[in-house]
């Protein structure tokens, strides 16, 4: 936001909750401006909005509270308490989805139990929001929830949960590895790719054959290249390698380990 505040806080809240704007989603520029202002007045108005009769306004309150003051947090305790309360007492699925996303942005371990309960929802969009919010969290409850969501019937939920487990990186447990290994046979290619990347971060050679297949099918999918480089112990910046180069290296790795 520029040094000169063009719109008042009242005007920004009005625009953020004007559903004629933004294709029916309100003015997200106004939401971003409120994040940046992050004053006590913004907080108080957002807290008041959590009790609005219109569920879209309650969802917008979560949107504002979840990222208030970014990149430097403003009123984190008040924001966390308000969003947890909203998530605990709300019934509207869109508001719950916004609350889950907000808890993901707030990244506070005290919200993990709330997110874990929300993972039981029958709404796939909410389960996906929970999987996204829990990504990279390393508490036992977060990991257990991600493992459960990695087996969800909806591919988008499985993808985000598998990604979240893969992002744990150095947190190398048999349960995480087993879940990632199961997802190598997933019907959805994006889920398989997330499992490959996660296992590669763990240095698990069970990813190699699946990675060779994926590189053969998607030779220009650069998101797969870092996984191959990790398994081959190559620097991330190493040369202008092609998929064929990486496949040859991975096959040599398999042959070498097999001979050993």
- Would you list the domain boundaries of the chain? 1-86
pLDDT for res 92: 97
If 0-12 CB within 10 Å is exposed, 13-18 middle and 19+ buried, where does residue 209 land? middle
Residue 257: per-residue pLDDT: 74
Question: How deeply is 246 buried, as exposed, middle or buried, from its count of CB atoms within 10 A (0-12, 13-18, 19+)?
Answer: buried
Distance CA 216, CA 168 (A): 27
Query: What confidence score (pLDDT) does residue 242 get?
Result: 93
What lies within 8 Å, CB to CB, of 133 at 6+ separation is 100, 101, 103, 104, 111, 115
pLDDT at 237: 67
- Model pLDDT for residues 159-186, shown as the tens digit of each residue: 999 999 998 866 778 999 999 999 999 9
Predicted pLDDT of residue 219: 95
Write down the pLDDT at residue 93. Answer: 96
Interatomic CA distance for residues 60 and 32, integer angstroms? 12
pLDDT of 4: 45
Nearest to 64 by CA among 23, 99, 93, 97: 99
pLDDT of residue 2: 47
Residue segments in the chain with a per-residue pLDDT below the cut of 50:
1-4, 260
Burial string for 46-68 (b: 16+ CB within 10 Å, else e) reads: bbebbeeeebbbbbbbbbbbbbb
């Amino acid at each position: 936001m520029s040094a000169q505040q063009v719109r008042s806080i009242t005007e920004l809240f009005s625009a953020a909750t004007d559903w004629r704007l933004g294709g029916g989603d309100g003015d997200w520029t106004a939401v971003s401006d409120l994040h940046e202002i992050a004053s006590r007045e913004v907080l108080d108005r957002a807290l008041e909005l959590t009790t609005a009769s219109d569920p879209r306004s309650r969802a917008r309150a979560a949107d504002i509270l979840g990222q208030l003051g970014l990149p430097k947090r403003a009123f984190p305790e008040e924001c966390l308490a308000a969003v947890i309360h909203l998530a605990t007492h709300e019934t509207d699925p869109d508001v719950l989805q916004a609350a889950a996303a907000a808890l993901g942005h707030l990244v506070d371990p005290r919200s993990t139990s709330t997110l874990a309960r929300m993972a039981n929802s029958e709404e796939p969009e909410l389960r996906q929001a929970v999987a996204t919010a829990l990504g990279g969290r390393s508490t036992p409850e977060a990991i257990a929830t991600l493992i459960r969501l990695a087996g969800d019937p909806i591919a988008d939920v499985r993808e985000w949960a598998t990604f979240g487990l893969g992002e744990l990186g150095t947190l190398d447990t048999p349960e995480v590895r087993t879940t990632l290994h199961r997802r190598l046979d997933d019907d959805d290619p994006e889920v398989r790719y997330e499992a490959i990347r996660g296992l590669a971060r763990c240095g698990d050679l069970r990813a190699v054959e699946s990675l060779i297949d994926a590189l053969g099918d998607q030779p220009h999918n650069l998101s797969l290249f870092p996984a191959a480089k990790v398994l081959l112990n190559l620097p991330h910046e190493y040369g202008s390698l092609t998929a064929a180069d990486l496949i040859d290296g991975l096959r040599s790795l398999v042959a070498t380990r097999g001979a050993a």
